[in-house]
Amino acid sequence: MNAETPGQSSTAEDLGRPHPAGAPRAGHEQHGPAAVIVLAAGAGTRMKSRTPKILHPLGGRSMVAHALDAARGLAPGRLAAVVRHERDLVAAHIAEHDPAAVIVDQDEVPGTGRAVEVALEALDAEAEGGQLSGTVVVTYGDVPLLTTALLAELVAEHEAAGNAVTVLTAVLEDATGYGRILREDDGTVAGIREHKDATAAERAIREVNSGIYAFEAAVLREALRQVTTENAQGEKYLTDVLALARAAGGRVSALATTDRWQVEGANDRVQLQALAAEHNRRILDAWMRAGVTVVDPATTWVDATVQLAEDVTLKPNTQLHGATVVERDAVIGPDTTLTDCVVREGATVKRTDGTGSEIGAGATVGPFTYLRAGTRLGPEGKIGAFYETKNAQIGRGAKLSHLGYVGDAEVGEGANIGCGNITANYDGVHKHRTVIGAQVRTGSNTVFVAPVTVGDGAYTAAGAIVRKDVPAGALALSVAPQRNAEGWTEAHRPGSPSAAAAAGARTSAAGAADGAPEPPSSAASPSKKVEGK
């Protein structure tokens, strides 16, 4: 909660991809206010970070991106974001996420009232007739769980009642430290009382101010002209508008939510983690209700930007990030992290770290596999244990079973790449490409020195170093005569267990050749001390 005086719940589906956060809930008519102002100027010093507070990520987006999405979902006439701390960094991030947002700079006058005032002045300058009219919603850049649906309820309540101001409030079990909402008998808001100034009876009130408002533009404009900085903090407070609007005869009302998470802000990393955990819980709840099996929600994290189909299974310790898409009947995990990946229908991915990769229908990946950007595994293909791939197109049914590296390469349909194979794609200056044809079979520990092409149906022998193209159907092998240096161990490692074993074996062989009885087997034991040493 983000006001100077800090304080209809939304469903889990509001935060899950099956029912995107930008859409109002069923049964609620979409309202388009004249403007939404997102306050994003604070320093967030309690975060103790070089990164501005509102740029800290949660569920795959920055906090301010979540806030902008909720605001944009209202379809406002204009959307403005007020910036100051780390102005250029924050403004660039906002512009990238929502190019249509109006960036407004807060001046030297501190306070949320002044932030809204400069935003309203900027919006007035662009409005027809020189003044904005209608409903203006004010929200914050660090309330990432706030949904469009709840904002739409706030706007609907405000406009249906003809209010001058409508404040969004939260009902808390423990309201200690928050500004209390004081109501008249008719339910209208009489004022907001700071905790430190509240009486015992007022402190018993559990309804608090969230700092999120809907204003009538004309009322807001006139009241802000009257708000001063004559207070202990020397700031221009937005909360002062409520009393001024009421004094001018306007109706001030409130919409209460029991879902405190929607209006909860993050001022430090403890609060940020709590919000992230709650956001993830809601995301997983929505996906499970949409037909996804999540075996262990406590260890599964899914960004708001991820897309899942029915009958997907997520096993423990799975993290899905970015633009990852998982199609029907795919099984992900355990112990798997995928970022910006596409997993096609019926594929299985376990104990894998993948980025920017596509896994074909019915394919299998893992365990202990590293998929780097540009990996494309075809249907029914396999990338097995302790394998790394990068910028590789792997055909239908091809198998890279274990202990290898394929980078900057094409592997044809049905190829079977043996254990310990690698593509040597880098010459120290440039990357080169390897092309392996369909139905190729490669022996263990083959090295492909790129650029090189292996034709369809070719074979390589174990230990081959392939430096030139291999014709279709050929066998590539590296032939070098094997040379044995007789007596090397005894000559160069005297007194060692190996030398003792070699001497024993030599003696046994000589005795057998002469027809003499063999010495006891213990004479060749590596642990037995050699006579005279």
Active site residues: 402
141 assigned binding-site residue: yes
Give the containing element (helix H, strand E) for 277.
helix 269-289
CA distance 252 to 243: 9
Would you state the structure tokens that stand for residue 400, as one six-digit string?
Answer: 């890279």
Q: Is 256 annotated as a binding residue?
A: no
Q: Is 431 annotated as a binding residue?
A: no
| 529 labeled binding residue | no
459 annotated to bind ligand: no
Task: Consult the annotation and say whether 119 binds a ligand.
Answer: no
DSSP for 170-233, please give it.
EE-S--TTSPEEEE-TTS-EEEEE-GGG--HHHHT--EEEEEEEEEEHHHHHHHHHH----STT
- Phi, psi angles (nearest 5°) of residue 47: -70, -20
Please list the residues that pair with 12 across neighbouring strands: none
Coil, helix or strand at residue 2: coil
- 372 assigned binding-site residue: yes
Q: Are 54 and 62 in contact (CB under 8 A)?
A: yes
Asked if residue 280 belongs to a known ligand binding site, the reply is no
Spatial separation of the C-alpha atoms in residues 308 and 406, rounded to whole Å: 29
Kindly report the backbone phi and psi dihedral angles of residue 401, in degrees, each rounded to the nearest multiple of 5, phi listed first. -80, -40
End-to-end, the C-alpha distance of the chain in Å comes to 82
41 is in an annotated binding site: yes
Does the annotation place 390 within a ligand binding site? yes
Asked whether residue 425 is marked as a ligand-binding residue, the answer is: yes
Q: Is the peptide bond between 367 and the residue preceding it cis, with omega within 30 degrees of 0?
A: yes
Structure tokens at 297: 């929600």
Number of other residues whose CB lies within 10 A of the CB of residue 384: 19
Alpha carbon distances (Å) from 431 to 110, 390, 409, 424, 459: 55, 12, 10, 9, 25
Tell me: is residue 426 an annotated ligand-binding position. Answer: yes
* 267 labeled part of a ligand binding site: yes
Dihedral (C-alpha) 249, 255, 256, 260: value to the nearest 10 degrees? -120
Q: Please, which residues bridge with residue 387 across strands?
A: 369, 404
Q: Is 40 part of any known ligand binding site?
A: yes
Q: Is 140 annotated as a binding residue?
A: yes
468 annotated to bind ligand: no
194 labeled part of a ligand binding site? yes
Does 236 count as an annotated binding residue? no
Residue 41, amino acid: A
Q: Nearest CA to 139 among 225, 79, 192?
A: 79
Query: Dihedral of the CA atoms 183, 185, 187, 192 (nearest 10)?
Result: -10
Question: Residue 39 annotated as binding?
Answer: yes
**Is 105 assigned a ligand-binding role in the annotation?**
no
- 387 annotated as a binding-site residue: no
Annotated binding-site residue numbers for UDP-N-acetyl-alpha-D-glucosamine? 39-42, 53, 106, 111-112, 140-142, 179, 194, 209, 267, 372, 390, 405, 416
Annotated binding-site residue numbers? 39-42, 53, 106, 111-112, 140-142, 179, 194, 209, 267, 372, 390, 405, 416, 425-426, 444, 462
Annotated binding-site residue numbers for Mg(2+)? 142, 267
Annotated binding-site residue numbers for acetyl-CoA? 425-426, 444, 462
